[in-house]
Amino acid sequence: MNEDNKMNRRKAIGGLGMGIAALAASPVFGSTGNTTGGSALQLSLEDPTTKYPRPPFKEQSQPWPGLAGKMEPRPDHGETSYKGSGRLAGRKALITGGDSGMGRAAAIAYAREGADVAINYLPDEEADAKEVIDLIKKAGRKAVAIPGDLRDEAFCRKLVEEAVKQLGGLDILVNNAARQQTHKSILDISNEQFDWTMKTNIYAPFWLTKAALPHLKPGSSIISTTSEQANDPSAELFDYAQTKAANTSFVRSLAKQLGPKGIRVNGVAPGPIWTPLQVSGGATMEKLKGFGGDTPLGRPGQPVELASIYVQLAASDASYANGQVYGAMGGGGQP
Ligand code: NAD
Ligand code: MG
């Protein structure tokens, strides 16, 4: 072995040792079953095409808004796998739609990274929300549950005030909740349905952000969940896709407005992800059975696969990420 190689080997082993030490210390941030043995598994390569379930999926449908706990297979939000390393220690986050899907994955990850977390959801989703609250508490962090309907401006203001009060401040706002229902034709979309989608997906983030802004100090972060639908809309998601284009514009405009104040605004644009939204009217049965099969990875994403993106965008080491939209689409679409 020449000197260079010896050096590299020593560095690699040294690095590994540090990695193991960090991992061994990380149960402080609430990960489950974290052992040195686990780190060997963590370092092994995982084939993304076979890592999670592939279509065909079983036919299934739930009344809106749907529960993750009743999906087959159950989505993976990182309940047993996400390991924190203190990246958000001491931060205070409010996440809408934090009971399931991307919101739940973000809530679990934020708590294990050391943040206190408030989640909003609909009263019908109490069963899902309870699981998330328990997981946040298990991570040793403060968990705040604030159910309510975001289509109501007064509630949006109250939600932010309550989160600020119970968390003792706010420095991360994740605008993630959304309404998505398929309609074959524009003629099938009633004014009431159109308004419902607009209120949930466009007005609520507007109201929440206005209410949150006076509390956000430099270094705070606003994150919106947008979609590949913003740039590549499906025929049957006519109203929803327009709201996702609006969410992307929200990010790009507000980032310019708030950048000078030291508040970063970024977006996450998922492709097909296995969540209750899709089994409660968000996808046709045909699409659901083959869900994600047409992406280069040949399967839908699981919410946990986006968790680290929400963490990254909130963390202060991503301090030059502003006005960006990070995609997670399995190889299709554009953020
Ligand atoms: P999800 O059903 O798990 O989450 C959506 C949440 O929105 C629900 O849990 C519910 O709590 C909340 N919500 C809806 N209407 C509400 C209202 N009126 N008041 C309060 N809360 C309300 O599904 P998800 O897929 O994780 O959705 C999260 C985000 O991801 C959404 O913004 C969605 O547009 C986006 N997205 C999802 C996909 C996908 O394939 N699942 C793809 C692209 C973008
Ligand atoms: Mg839900």
* Structural domain spans, the chain: 72-77+85-328
pLDDT at site 221:
98
For residue 248 and ligand 1, the question of a CB distance below 6 A is answered with: no
Which residue among 110, 121, 240, 310 is the active-site one?
Answer: 240
User: Torsions phi, psi of 219, nearest 5?
Assistant: 100, -15
pLDDT at site 333:
83
For residue 273 and ligand 1, the question of a CB distance below 6 A is answered with: yes
Rounded CA-CA distance 220/215 in Å is: 9
Whose alpha carbon is nearest atom 41 of ligand 1? 273
Q: Provide the CB-side half-sphere exposure for 76 (13 A, CA).
A: 13
For residue 276 and ligand 1, the question of a CB distance below 6 A is answered with: yes
Rounded CA-CA distance 319/218 in Å is: 11
The correct answer on CATH 3.40.50.720 for the domain covering 72-77+85-328 is yes
Atom of ligand 1 nearest to the CA of 121: 11
Tokens describing residue 110: 């934020």
Whose alpha carbon is nearest atom 8 of ligand 1? 97
Q: Which ligand is nearest to the CA of 77?
A: 1
Asked if residues 326 and 313 have their Cβ atoms less than 8 Å apart, the reply is yes
Strand partners, 225: 268
pTM score, whole prediction: 0.90
Short-list 77, 70, 283, 69, CA closest to 180: 283
240 is catalytic: yes
Amino acid in position 300: P
pLDDT at site 43:
73
Burial of 100 (0-12, 13-18, 19+ CB in 10 A): buried
What separation in Å is there between the alpha carbon of 22 and the centre of ligand 1? 34
Number of neighbouring beta carbons within 10 Å of residue 162: 17
Per-residue pLDDT of the chain in tens (335 residues, 90 and over written 9): 333 333 333 333 333 333 333 343 343 344 444 444 455 556 789 999 999 999 999 999 999 999 999 999 999 999 999 999 999 999 999 999 999 999 999 999 999 999 999 999 999 999 999 999 999 999 999 999 999 999 999 999 999 999 999 999 999 999 999 999 999 999 999 999 999 999 999 999 999 999 999 999 999 999 999 999 999 999 999 999 999 999 999 999 999 999 999 999 999 999 999 999 999 999 999 999 999 999 999 999 999 999 999 999 999 999 999 999 999 999 988 88
What separation in Å is there between the alpha carbon of 72 and the centre of ligand 2? 15
For residue 152 and ligand 1, the question of a CB distance below 6 A is answered with: no
Whose alpha carbon is nearest atom 29 of ligand 1? 176
Atom of ligand 1 nearest to the CA of 240: 34
pLDDT at site 31:
42
Rounded CA-CA distance 163/148 in Å is: 13
CB crowding 44-67: b at 16 or more within 10 Å, else e = eeeeeeeebbbbebeeeeeebbbb
Asked if the peptide bond before residue 335 counts as cis, ω within 30 degrees of 0, the response is no
Q: CA torsion 158→207→160→254, rounded to 10°?
A: -170
